[in-house]
Amino acid sequence: MSVQQREKLEAILRQSAFPPDIDLGEQRRLLREVASAQPLPADVSVTAGVLGGVPTAEITVDGVDARHVVLYFHGGVYVMGDAALSADLASQVGRRTGARVISVDYRLAPEHPYPAAVDDALAAYEALLRDGTAPADIVFAGESAGGGLAVATMVNARDHGLPLPAAAFVMSPYADLTLAGATMETKRAADPLMSPRALHDRVADYVPVPDTALGLVSPIFADLSGLPPLVIQAGTHEVLLDDAVRLARAAAIADVEVVLDITPGVPHVFQAYYPVLDEATAALDRAGQLLTAHLGSALGQVTS
């Protein structure tokens, strides 16, 4: 059944892909329309909040242990999306770790270019610690740009002398805004969602070209030493595959415990398609087991 699922999903994604050459405002509208069409599971609730002056969406699954927190960073190449739009996928991470999720509504470019997102992410984490949540009870998670931001936030927190979370889980991380990954070309035809051109058009909205290799912009170029365990997942049908591979390599070279989990034949942030793709459910299950092990064996997981 899996092959048919992958083929059907790819056909749907190619048919529904954003038209080329539309402006950012229209891209934002279309993303909100698509994301809002998927109803949340009945046992998931979303509440608006604020953390360190940064708006958040607190996402809870009935029966979770509120002592543990997933600090979540949404995707959208730093110019689209918001904390609540990622609630469905974020709730799946919370479900598998038995934790409540706080999704950070960091400011978006071009209205708020770098370092706004980085500053907001760090402010939210600092406030979470200040409010009394132990770092051992926190994991980071994020998809696409949010995956890159999760890693950058750990680097930033380390450099500010803050204690680090127990672990981090990043899905299809957008970790190199220089767009130098080999799969930008080799996976161009296979990727039903993203293209080098579309990414290139958005980079300058977030950061000037000379700064794209800064460690807090493109964490594959950062010093990753001292970071907590890192779980990286990606699919083989995405132009950002090489970002995941090179991020894992950089982490390993820095003596960071890292799991690189590549699923064949699936697209960018394939975990979001868990209702129709067996590989997505399996990948989320694997990540949940790893994160739970780092948070501690006392967690009570909530089954789907």
CATH number for the domain spanning 7: value is: 3.40.50.1820
From the candidates 68, 74, 237, 268, which is the catalytic residue? 268
CA terminus-to-terminus distance, the chain: 20
pTM (2 decimals)? 0.95
Whether 30 is covered by a domain: the verdict is yes
CA–CA separation, 178 and 183 (whole Å): 13
Whether 99 is covered by a domain: the verdict is yes
Minimal CA–CA distance to 82: which of 60, 105, 59?
105
pLDDT tens digit string along 183-239? Answer: 999 999 999 999 999 999 899 999 988 899 999 999 999 999 999 999 999 999 999
Whether 302 is covered by a domain: the verdict is no
Residue keyed to tokens 């598998």:
96
A 10 A CB-CB count for 55 gives 18
**What pLDDT is recorded for position 297?**
41
Residue 144: active-site member: yes
Q: What's the domain range around 60?
A: 2-295
Residue 185: active-site member: no
Does 300 have pLDDT greater than 70?
no
Q: How many domains does the chain have?
A: 1
Tell me the pLDDT band of 295, cut-offs 50, 70 and 90: very high
Mean residue pLDDT across the chain: 93
From the candidates 86, 103, 144, 172, which is the catalytic residue? 144
From the candidates 10, 58, 143, 238, which is the catalytic residue? 238
Whether 283 is covered by a domain: the verdict is yes
pLDDT tens digit string along 66-103? Answer: 789 999 999 999 999 999 999 999 999 999 999 999 99
Whether 300 is covered by a domain: the verdict is no
Does 303 have pLDDT greater than 80?
no
3-state secondary structure of 195: coil
Q: What is the 3-state secondary structure (H, E, C) of 149-171?
A: HHHHHHHHHHHCCCCCCCEEEEE
Pairing state between β 230-235 and 167-171:
parallel
